Chains A and B, each alone.
Chain A
Amino acid sequence: MEEPFALIDRLRRAAALVAPGDDGGMASGRGFEVRLAAAQLHEIHALSEGEAASGAGLALGCALTVGARPILWLRTEAAERQGGRLHGPGLVAMGLDPADLVVVVVADDAALLRAAADGARCPGLGTVIAEGWGAMRGLDLTASRRLMLAAEASGVLMLVLRVGGQVVPSAAATRWSVASAPSRALAAEAPGAPAYDLELLRRRGGPAGARWRVEWNRDTQSFDPAPLSGARLPLVADRAVAGPAPAPVRGAG
């Protein structure tokens, strides 16, 4: 039997998933910060394969904002093949010392989940990132619940990074979708700091559906709210050029 105070404490911790800033408002932009609670399972979805790098950036940023190091990054061979390997100088450029990172490449999703469960149980780790591409069949309610319980017991920040897969029900505390956003240009139209469009798809015990545009600040190791003026092109042109292809319409007859 759990101590009542401990139980309340646990519930309170579960509720404080996204720690709000000073004004408590997340959508206002001011004082907002993305801080995922450690000792929980969170899901990050890069909904298309082209957003894999954004997903990796957000996952890495989430680990860095809460200082949850060292990081165990699990990837499938498919991720390594299609998405490219994690690049040391690029990780340094995001603000991670690669000495704090162990990369594990596994053969398939089953091995990925097994290794993730082992990692989530290890109290010496700060973060476990399990990156799977496509439909992760093994990741069902049971498997995610297991990861969640392991993370609660060990205090590890457990992130499941999914690239190009369908969203399925899971026990994750929060579920985010991430897409790259136009950065604020530097001098001479050079691309600036990484910017993302985030959407909170699901949040246990709280409202969801909010969207933000954030910018990764390596020097302060935090996500800053990004002004929407970053979009240089009009929205219409944006959609016409690179938007998702319209659903095929079956011709009549």
Chain B
Amino acid sequence: MPIERLRARRPHLFVARDEAPIAFAESVGGAIRLAALNARAVAAGLSVGLTLADARARVPEVEIFPHDPAADADWLERLAEGARRYSPAVALDPPQGLVLDSGGVDHLFGGERGLAEDIETRMARRGLIVRLAYGDTPEAARALARHAGAPAPDEMGAIRRLPVAALELDEDACAALIAAGLKSVGDVLARPMATIAARFGREAATALRRLTGEEDSPLTPRVVAAPIGVERRFAEPVARTEHMLGVLEDLTAEAARVLEERHEGGRRWDARLFRSDGEVQHLRVETGQPTRDPAVLLRLFRERIEALADPLDPGFGYDLMRLDVGLAEKLDAVQLRLEGGEAKSEAVAALIDRLGTRLGRERVRRIHPRDSHMPEQAELLLPATDPAPKAEWTRPEPGEPPLRPIHLFDPPQPIESLAAETPDGPPARFRWRRKMHDVARAEGPERIAGEWWRRADMAPPTRDYYRVEDVRGRRFWIFRHGLYTETERPRWYVHGLFA
């Protein structure tokens, strides 16, 4: 698996030296040991767990790469994403397996054999060697793929001929089975289940039942299949973006018809472009209001494509496109356009969707009230498409000057208090951003205690807030962090600026 990732990611390493022994090393408990090998390295006599020094001594020409399980897992995820072209139910079987539920989909590829051939050729194109097996249960398929048994006339026969290691029990249990003379799964199955459970533990019995299909183990698909999905396969791969967008438009129109029948509109649309070499590109578009207007969606998809950090790379072309509606909500057949207000708010919602698609949803936001008396937590910034939480702003009294700043610094910015201050007053003079400010007017303190109930160990210092205005009329919201009784020399901060 790591070898194949490396081959796909850095092909230049493999030009004309396909036959070199390669090993991946990781540091285990202070020593650097081999973690994975290619076939050639195994043939040269190396094995997993050998220290790096030993390996180098035995096979001087071995090439060592750092072992990176995280990158391997990531790579497997990408393969799983690619495997969604075959079936919506794909589960990861780390570190190097994928389990597909092919029930009901294999006829699309000409039966099980056709599906297997398609997978093999597609993977071979990327230099991947796959071992495929079908089974009635995921465990059976996995065991058959992993542990090559002797040829057998049917599935049950093949399972019987698997070595006991295929049960995937822990090492002790496995050794115990072998010590008891049970070498193949068939040997174990020949004994009464109760005896096996009594002697080798319940796990052994469960593993056996799962392997033979007596006990169900559900497949946990990586992605839950979307309620509505449409797809288009191409006989010839499509490489032009314009053509691709045309197909995307057809797909949205098709999905829109399905949605219309259900009186729904989609809020999350996922387009997946499957490249002929197995890579997948994923484009997601979200809207604040449910929609099924292909023109709107196509515009959003265009924005999305434009906003991509790496432009779309069709490679040798796409041979399958899928569009899923991940989130659908009620949408009445006819939009109410009687009132001008409705059309106006629709135009704003469309603008918010466009900006959100181009810039990122979290950059387009609304400010919501939040029930906290800590100034920096008294508001909640949420993406503009999200629903508003239930809370109310505190309305100011008529005639009262603004008591909260229009600009808030988070975190507050330190200022230097320059003139002597009275214990309950603001500084008469302070320096902020290398500029001097002489306080002409001030009001305060407004005492805001720390939220002591949030931290059990110690309450944060009290803050005394002052509204101050300097001689030029600039208005600041400053606070002293801590009372004189709490701290020796409290620090001063500017927390915000009044308009």
Contacts and interface: CB of A to CB of B under 8 A. Distances in A.
B401 A242 contact: no
A17 to B, nearest CB: 23
Interface string A189-225: 1111111010000000000000000001011000000
Contacts of B441: 182-183, 185, 189-191
Interface in B337-394: 343-348, 350-352, 354-355, 358-359, 363-369, 375, 378-379, 381, 384, 388, 393-394
Interface in B394-446: 394-396, 398-399, 401-410, 433, 435-438, 440-443
Interface string A114-130: 01001100111100000
B266 interface: no
B410 A89 contact: no
Contact of A87 (B347, B368, B404, B468): B404
A110 interface: no
B82 interface: no
B378 A115 contact: no
A242 B363 contact: no
A85 interface: yes
A106 interface: yes
B343 A87 contact: no
Contacts, number: 215
A84 B364 contact: no
Contacts of B472: 179-180, 182, 238, 242
B347 A124 contact: yes
B408 A85 contact: yes
Interface stretch (B149-157, B184-192, B491-499): B491-499
Interface string B312-340: 00000000000000000000000000000
A8 B441 CA distance: 51
Contact of A98 (B367, B410, B474): B367
B473 A195 contact: yes
A34 interface: no
B407 A90 contact: yes
Contacts of A241: 436, 438, 471
A124 B345 contact: yes
Interface stretch (A25-33, A37-45, A47-55): A47-55
B231 to A, nearest CB: 32
Nearest to A80: B407
A124 B351 contact: yes
A107 B360 CA distance: 11
A16 interface: no
B254 interface: no
A124 B347 CA distance: 5
Contact of A123 (B344, B399, B443, B474): B344
B366 A115 contact: no
A191 B475 contact: yes
A93 interface: yes
B471 A87 contact: no
A168 interface: no
Nearest to A103: B365
B85 interface: no
Given A92-B395, A98-B366, A191 B401 contact: yes
A86 B467 contact: no
Nearest to A54: B499
Nearest to B346: A124
Contact of A90 (B345, B350, B368, B498): B498
A123 B343 CA distance: 9
B367 A103 contact: yes
A87 B348 contact: no
A52 to B, nearest CB: 7
Contacts of B394: 89, 92
A247 interface: no
Secondary structure of the B contact surface, majority rule: mixed
A232 interface: yes
Contact of B499 (A57, A92, A181, A186): A57
A120 to B, nearest CB: 10
A95 B402 CA distance: 9
B470 interface: yes
Nearest to B470: A242
Contact of B407 (A58, A85, A186): A85
A191 B363 contact: no
Contacts of B388: 99
Interface string A55-95: 01110100000000010100000000001111111111110
Contacts of B364: 102-104
B341 to A, nearest CB: 9
B106 interface: no
B378, B404, B406, B433 pick with most chain A CB within 10 angstroms: B406
B409 to A, nearest CB: 4
A86 B469 contact: no
Contacts of A182: 440-441, 469, 471-473
A188 interface: yes
A189 B442 contact: yes
A121 to B, nearest CB: 8
A7 B277 CA distance: 60
B393 A88 contact: yes
Nearest to A187: B443
A54 B369 CA distance: 24
A9 interface: no
Contacts of A58: 499
Contacts of A83: 407, 497
B442 A101 contact: no
Interface of A: 50-54, 56-58, 60, 70, 72, 83-94, 97-99, 101-107, 111, 115, 118-119, 122-125, 179-183, 185-186, 188-195, 197, 216, 218-219, 232-233, 237-238, 241-242
Q: 9 tightest A-B contacts by CB?
A: A57-B499, A124-B347, A93-B402, A190-B443, A87-B408, A84-B407, A88-B379, A53-B497, A89-B404
20 contacts: A60-B406, A84-B409, A87-B408, A88-B393, A89-B393, A93-B404, A102-B384, A104-B359, A118-B354, A123-B344, A124-B346, A124-B351, A180-B473, A183-B469, A189-B442, A191-B442, A191-B475, A193-B401, A216-B499, A242-B472
Given A90-B402, A99-B388, A218-B402, 4 more contacts: A84-B496, A103-B366, A104-B359, A189-B441
